[in-house]
Chains A and B, each alone.
Chain A
């Protein structure tokens, strides 16, 4: 009897722990969104009619050297999105098993495999370590845009966020272009003809600008069109059903359901597509800027020199 009870105890307590951790992780996923909604409900003034405003500034921190540092809705929501993604990943990878496994594990494995194959397809074997970065960009971008579905301000509709990502990608591109030394990098501006150098320099800086504007413009245009559509539908109801008595005449009937159809395109489809395109362009630019053949030649030369040096030292000894 005592043995039995002991066994059941050892069986149930890890299960209970597992379930408790699970619930904690789920709470970590959902709580940031609730916090964001609460912050919005408490501080951000409600928009009236056709009003399209930028991110709301919660407070301004005064720093001694850097001057005023405004803490905006964009920053707060980006951190909330990051926390959500962190807990989502932890939840997906909670309780991994080498064999079998839950549905959750299969989803996690599917995501990792898809990202790996995407990176391998578009960047080649040399860049296969890039898949965590690309996955992070994809997840952050997609979740930042999809946060509109719960009614929060999407960080990606702020130019500062997308510009930050684009500058990061620009540094990556330049780093991989400089792999063959700065001279090789500078020479690449004079190709194919020397007098095209100014154009090449402009196109170099146009890359991050266009990436930032593309993402930001797509998400922002979705927001603008939804606001305009909501206002237009309200006007339409007033025009058609304004003669109804009392409350019925004022209630915007056409605003029920119809904007959701637009939301499927502008929030769901466009958000995911822009995330995919941002990640895709990152991969293409980084892999395309990297002079693979020259780098391989250089490595081969280096190896030869090393071999020669090793051989000569061996002979002397």
Chain B
């Protein structure tokens, strides 16, 4: 039984980590849009290339934040959560 419980914990942590990374879609679309618009702007006004590139990189970095939150949660679920949860299980079982 104990093996099954630990297996469920590990499996669910991995599933949760994988599901969390669905958030990667959002920043991907957002950054793609930002870069596309920046390319358009540079095409229209090649002389403003420097300012547009800096602003675009800034915007991309800010848009990336949500994806990074997901990444942090996924890393926590893979590397930190299993140990904690197994400890809790052991404590409740009294072993």
Residues of A whose CB lies within 8 Å of any CB of B are 52, 210, 213-214, 216-218, 220-221, 224, 273-274, 276-277, 280-281
Residues of B whose CB lies within 8 Å of any CB of A are 57-58, 61-62, 64-65, 68-69, 71-72, 75, 79
Q: Are A277 and B61 in contact (CB under 8 A)?
A: yes
- What are 19 A-B residue pairs whose CB atoms fall within 8 Å in the complex? A52-B79, A213-B65, A213-B69, A214-B61, A214-B62, A214-B65, A214-B68, A216-B72, A217-B68, A217-B69, A217-B71, A218-B64, A220-B71, A220-B72, A221-B71, A273-B61, A276-B57, A277-B57, A277-B62
Q: Provide the residues of chain A in CB contact with B71, threshold 8 Å.
A: 217, 220-221
Q: How far is the CA of A125 from the CA of B62 in the complex (A)?
A: 26
Interface of A is mostly: helix
Q: How far is the CA of A273 from the CA of B75 in the complex (A)?
A: 22
Further pairs besides A214-B68, A217-B68, A280-B58: 17, Cβ < 8 Å: A52-B79, A210-B65, A213-B65, A213-B72, A214-B62, A214-B64, A214-B65, A218-B64, A218-B68, A220-B71, A220-B72, A220-B75, A221-B71, A273-B61, A274-B61, A277-B61, A281-B62
The number of inter-chain residue pairs (CB within 8 angstroms) is 34
Q: How far is the CA of A214 from the CA of B58 in the complex (A)?
A: 12
Tell me how far the C-beta of B17 lies from the nearest C-beta in chain A, rounded to whole angstroms. 12
Minimal Cβ-Cβ distance residue in B for A210? B65
Q: Provide the residues of chain A in CB contact with B62, threshold 8 Å.
A: 214, 277, 281
Top-7 shortest CB links A-B: A217-B68, A277-B61, A214-B65, A217-B72, A217-B71, A221-B71, A210-B65
Minimal Cβ-Cβ distance residue in B for A220? B75
- Which of these, A221, A273, A281, contacts B68 with CB under 8 Å? A221
Q: How far is the CA of A224 from the CA of B87 in the complex (A)?
A: 25
